[in-house]
Amino acid sequence: MTYAPTCSPSSALDTREEAPYTEEDYDFIAETTEDFVPIIYKPSPSLLPLRIRMVFFHKRMAELLNQRYSFPWSCFERPDQEELAPWLDEVVMKINSDEDGYMRHRDVYCMLSLAMNLLGLQAPAFRPQPTIPWLADARTFEHMVIQRDRIVIDCHWLFCTKSKVYATEGTWRGIVNPKLTLQTERIEMFAATKLRNDSRADEILQLDTFQQAQMAAMRGAQVQKAFKSMGTAAISASGERVPTRFRQITRKLQNWANSQPRFAKLYPKYRAYAIALELLEKPSIKQVSQLAGLILGEPPLTESTATQTLRKLKGLISET
């Protein structure tokens, strides 16, 4: 498969990077909160002696953090969802299994992400993602690059899908306006500017819940909480770990899908609809169908078929 650049490579100035980094500059992870503890950078575990690891770590960190942030604006020609999805999955597995995997596979990961954005079928939030550790001590400079790239990919998705974005702040007005040429330099600057992700989503771009549910990085507190609530376990009032409500729902769907072979192929569809219901607040049937399609990477069902699917789903999970 060949690829060709659809946008000219650009470089956006991040003025903060011209001065030595401070603790305040490390507030770049999507899950940051107001009581965020400044990151203390440490090298990842390795078989090399600590002294050698520190030399390589600081050299690599200095090289990357002192460069201006830029995104590799290239994507593949004539993309195909059935081919791109497993390829992206394979690349992300390589990234997550390698200590320096993201920088090694970054160009391919970004090209595949842009190509999938052009298709407009599967939203960034529901694709395989390079992981960012929850623990601050485990985060490195590469995780900052991952986070910035996620923001760029989110903005490119909004542009490609012609999503209505009402950015009113002067600096960022019209940044993802589909009626204009793709503004690569402004998007890069937006990603490199120190801003909380809920501020990007709620205040600057003013994304609604349906839009935020499609984002890999730019989510407000409410949508971020909805994503976290779908984890495998929660803490009960008595302090015990118990399955989340969503985990109980998927277990019922799995039991139903395994009861007869002909049901198994329907499991992904019903799970996608269950996810859409968890993420959206008082959604219309059309919104649920659209988000379920963006989860699966498929065109949405018609409203009548979606209504039947929701009726069946609610019957399956009514006791949850």
Burial group, residue 206, by CB count within 10 angstroms (0-12, 13-18, 19+):
middle
With tokens 């600081």, the residue in question is 58
pLDDT tens-digit profile of 71-80?
A: 999 877 767 8
pLDDT tens-digit profile of 14-70?
A: 333 333 333 333 344 333 333 333 333 344 444 556 656 555 655 565 455 545 789
DSSP letter assigned to residue 199 = I
Q: Is the dihedral of CA 144, 148, 154, 156 positive or negative?
A: negative
CA angle at 54 for the pair 52 and 58, rounded to the nearest 5°? 125
* Domain chopping of the chain, boundaries: 3-218, 233-316
The residues facing 234 across adjacent strands are: 242
Q: Is pTM beyond 0.95 here?
A: no
